[in-house]
Structure 1
Amino acid sequence: MTTARIAYVQWPEGLQPAGPAWDAIHRSMESARPDILVTNEMPFGPWLAERANFDAQAAQRSIALHEHALDALRGLGAAAVISSRPVAFDGRLANEAFVLESNAYRTIHHKKYFPQEPGFFEEAWYDRGAGGFDCVQVGQVKVGVLLCTELFFNDRARAYGRDGADLIVTPRASGTSLARWKTAGTMAAIVSGAWFVSSNRHGQGALGQQFGGAGFVVSPDGVLLEETNEATPLRVVTIDLHAARTQKAQYPCYVKEVP
């Protein structure tokens, strides 16, 4: 049986890659030792898009912090880390999904879909950037990434399934209303025949935005399994890659699309 151990988390708002909170994360990872760690979306420092207007200095601070944090992520002991970070792009930012594996950095794609509402003024801060929705090989696992709001565009999950994804991951920064996220994650698993894992931010932002935590995992046949909480902010699921590959031949994955 071909398996992989996938860690998913709820990390605190304003996280720094040093200090007591990071030390606790490091200790939990030492015992977990996953094949892939999936973090929440842009996990370090304050949530920029809580503010309605782009701030170039704040953007640069976040770029620098996430760049500095790459070494801290490498030091966690996971064979690979999938996360996202802000990068400079066309006078604003792009939200870059990436994988760290064997100390090598690979860009996956830049986030394409953005909300624009209180707490999440992402259209004001982020450009759609470069790159499309291609699967990436991470160890023995073929992975598709949907950053936060991208999860609600279900055609992307279906396309990942057609491309043979074993696992779809969603690093996110979402509020306390969790039902739609779990429904969307379940649908992503069902239409792709892939395992689905999501990690989320947790805690209150500087302007009051509350992030809901609850990283969770869904099996390829659409069964919602465990989730994180304040008592257990990191969980590890062992995924059966054969189950994902077999599910591709099951309903509704095999149904032909209308051209």
Structure 2
Amino acid sequence: MRATVCELPYRPALLEPAWESLAAHVRAERSELVLLPEFAFVEPVWESAPFDPQRWAAAEALSDAWTARLHELGATWVVGARPVTVDGRHYNEGFAWSAQGGYQPLRRKFHLPDEPGGWEATWFERGDAEFARFSAGPLAFGLSICTELWALDTYAGYAALGLEAILSPRATAAATTAKWLAMGTVAAVRTGAYSLSSNRVDTGAGTYGGAGWAISPDGALLAQTSENRPFCTVDVNPAMAAGARSTYPRYVFARPAP
């Protein structure tokens, strides 16, 4: 499967041309799956507290409008995370959109920081504690939304599920890119799956640092986005992931207990 990771700005004046460029890239590379950043199209409401119903409603409406445009990318599958309200409760919801099936909820973010600049537990309810297996055509994947990449206890479960990729929409700072890349590598090596991530980027303020990545099941950095290369497409080979699960260090943890 051809998969594209990216970095995108959320500010409208920058997002529109970036979106057109992403669509052109996806079509030129014949990408089948596009991974978007966390809350790709809206302002980072979590940067301030308290919760503001009007700002939330605006973010949700804008996400609705952009979700209706996902077909413009020309990909078979698009995966991301966006704000949703369900029964009056506010969530960060991972989703998969497909050309045939439209919008499909996946899981809602469970691990939520709550600190200056990242008041997520103030803005979102805790979602799904289960890290399940999802499918995008032939690709079996798990969804770890941003902070959830640090949930090391999920990797044994992911390995047991036989996943071929871990998809991670992010909204992370430029100053912390090295740490996040290290964790993406751990995710790949421990599970024997590809690690794919896309990040927000804020060229003006420099808060969000881009650096989307594609990492092989053995931890090799296949591609990383940058200001000069905001979109990267790689071949994700399910057979390679299946083979990796039987090699070190994965097989050590797959052995039955004595």
Q: Please, what TM-score do these two structures have when normalized by structure 2? A: 0.92
Whether 1:45 aligns to 2:42 is: yes
Residue type of the alignment partner of 2:173: G
Whether 1:57 aligns to 2:54 is: yes
For 1:15 and 1:226, locate their aligned partners in 2 and report how far apart those are by CA, in whole Å. Answer: 27
Residue 9 of structure 2 contacts residue 15 of structure 2 at CA under 8 Å; is this kept in 1? no
Residue identity over aligned pairs, in percent, reads 34
SS at match of 1:171: strand
Residue type of the alignment partner of 2:185: T
Deviation at 1:70, TM superposition (A): 1.2
Q: Which moved more, 1:19-28 or 1:147-156?
A: 19-28
2:164 aligned residue:
166
Q: Which moved more, 1:18-27 or 1:217-226?
A: 18-27
Deviation at 1:172, TM superposition (A): 0.3
1:84 aligned residue:
81
Q: Please, what TM-score do these two structures have when normalized by structure 1? A: 0.91
Larger helix percent = 2
1:185 aligned residue:
184
For 1:72 and 1:33, locate their aligned partners in 2 and report how far apart those are by CA, in whole Å. Answer: 18
Deviation at 1:50, TM superposition (A): 1.1
Q: For 1:231, which of 206, 224, 228 is the aligned residue?
A: 228
Residue type of the alignment partner of 1:234: F
C-alpha deviations, 1:190-244, integer Å up to 9, x for none? Answer: 1100011100000168xx5700000011110112222000111110011221110
2:124 aligned residue:
126
Q: Which moved more, 1:171-180 or 1:16-25?
A: 16-25
1:149 aligned residue:
147
How many residue pairs end up in the alignment? 254
C-alpha deviations, 1:100-141, integer Å up to 9, x for none? Answer: 112422111000011122221111101013472111111110
**What does 1:68-79 align with in structure 2 at a 5 Å threshold?**
68-79=65-76
SS at match of 1:211: coil
For 1:252 and 1:161, locate their aligned partners in 2 and report how far apart those are by CA, in whole Å. Answer: 11
For 2:14 and 2:93, locate their aligned partners in 1 and report how far apart those are by CA, in whole Å. Answer: 18
C-alpha deviations, 1:7-28, integer Å up to 9, x for none? Answer: 0000013358984333233322
1:115 aligned residue:
113
Unaligned runs of 5+ in 2: none
Residue type of the alignment partner of 2:120: E
Q: For 1:252, which of 249, 253, 256 is the aligned residue?
A: 249
Residue type of the alignment partner of 1:74: H
C-alpha RMSD over aligned residues: 2.1
Deviation at 1:157, TM superposition (A): 2.5
SS at match of 1:210: coil
Q: Which moved more, 1:23-32 or 1:182-191?
A: 23-32
Cα distance change on mapping 1:90 and 1:52 into 2, 3 Å: farther
Larger strand percent = 1
Residue 222 of structure 2 contacts residue 234 of structure 2 at CA under 8 Å; is this kept in 1? no
1:139 aligned residue:
137
SS at match of 1:217: strand
2:30 aligned residue:
33
Cα distance change on mapping 1:68 and 1:226 into 2, 3 Å: same
Whether 1:217 aligns to 2:214 is: yes
Residue 23 of structure 2 contacts residue 73 of structure 2 at CA under 8 Å; is this kept in 1? yes
1:6 aligned residue:
3
Residue 157 of structure 1 contacts residue 168 of structure 1 at CA under 8 Å; is this kept in 2? no
Residue type of the alignment partner of 2:181: K
SS at match of 2:75: coil
